[in-house]
Amino acid sequence: MLRQLKHALFPVALVLFAAFGPFVLEPFDLVNLSAFSAMAIAALGLAFVWGTLGILNLGHSVFFGLGAYAYAIAVSNLGDSTLAVLIGTLLPVAFSLILGYFLFFSRLGDVYLGVITLCVTLIFYSFMTSTADPSFHIGPVPLGGFNGITAVPSLNMPGDPQAFLSTEATFSICLLALAGAYILLSFLRSSDAGRIMTAIRESELRSELLGYDIRFYKLVGFAVSAAIAGLGGALYTAVMGFVSPNVFDLPQASQFVLWVIAGGLGTFVGPVAASFGFQLLSSQLGANQIFNTELIFGATIILFVLLAPQGLLPMILKLSKPRFQNRSGILRRKEKPA
């Protein structure tokens, strides 16, 4: 019972923040925090697929970007944002099922999987930057090449395209969506299917010998993470009002991985906290020329991998509980060169 209460603490805090934040914070901060939580939603998707299922998806940003583009195109075509968010969530799922079929049914190893997923997002990046020509358009919306799609309508009341939601309401929706994603993934992780997924992470061979179709579970988990990332991407576009090919580029892909490593692989609270922390940091660094974000992010990834491979949250837990013996985080499995 106590344990369940402890688990409920984080989403309750988010919901409270969603309810009372608009009364305390400035509109500028509200917009920023809405964008941060949209990103954090996407990071949760990676935290699930990598932390629970053990799939090293370095190209998680491809689902985020697909969701972002799908929302931008759909909302401009349809006028209504509710359906557009749904499309932004479902299109990445469709893509993840196709990609996942090739990845999991050929039983690729960790390293191969990471490389292929990263290459997919890089290809999307170069495709999207090459669509500057006006002939690339879907409905009335030009894809816009390097500039991307601008002036994307924000969220509106369901069914009433003219009634745009206020900054405060958008903020609450983003935080509630984050809490919802957290609750959904936590339930999924502690469900029967989630336990099988954890078993697959620990030992693919044993799970398979016990009769579970690991390819199926991996595909389902992959699709769930794609849906979560797509939702994050759709909300992000709705908050920011534009989408550019940068959602597919290398710094974007590395952000998600960095947050999950830093927050601690296998936890959900850690990556969310890390995503807020690092986004605050990079918005502070902003226009600084010498310490650009790539330099800082790169150095941070190296330092985390070398010095705190289990991530910040488990490290803090370990310090407070000295008997925490399990090897966790990215060093969980010790492999030998084949």
Sequence-separated (6 or more) residues with CB below 8 Å from residue 170: 30, 34, 154, 155, 238, 239
Interaction between residue 210 and other proteins (CB under 8 A): no
How far apart, in whole angstroms, are the C-alpha atoms of residue 333 and residue 338?
14
Exactly one of 53, 56, 87, 181 binds other proteins (CB under 8 A); that residue is 56
Interaction between residue 257 and other proteins (CB under 8 A): yes
Residues touching other proteins, count (CB under 8 A): 53
CB of 67 to other proteins, least distance (A): 20
Quote the tokens at residue 311. Answer: 């991530």
How far apart, in whole angstroms, are the C-alpha atoms of residue 98 and residue 309?
32
Output 122 or 184, the one with its CB closest to other proteins.
122
Q: Report the site for other proteins in 136-155 (rule: CB under 8 A).
A: none
- Which residues on neighbouring strands pair with residue 142, listed in sequence order? 137
Which region, judged by CB under 8 A, interacts with other proteins, from 89-97, 158-166, 172-180, 325-333? 325-333
- Contact string 162-191 vs other proteins (x = CB under 8 A): ------------------------------
Which region, judged by CB under 8 A, interacts with other proteins, from 85-93, 122-130, 186-194, 201-209? 122-130
Are 212 and 196 a contacting pair, CB within 8 Å? yes
CB of 14 to other proteins, least distance (A): 29
- Distance from first CA to last CA of the chain, Å, rounded? 45
Interaction between residue 75 and other proteins (CB under 8 A): no
Neighbours of 62 (CB within 10 A): 30
Which of 15, 117, 139 lies closest to 56, judged by CA?
117
CB of 89 to other proteins, least distance (A): 24
CB of 318 to other proteins, least distance (A): 18
- Which residues on neighbouring strands pair with residue 138, listed in sequence order? 141
How far apart, in whole angstroms, are the C-alpha atoms of residue 112 and residue 283?
33
Q: What is the chain's length? A: 338
In the complex, the residues that contact other proteins under the rule CB under 8 A are 56, 58, 102, 105-108, 110-112, 114-116, 118-120, 122-123, 126-127, 130, 249-251, 254, 257, 261, 289-302, 304-306, 309, 330-331, 333-338
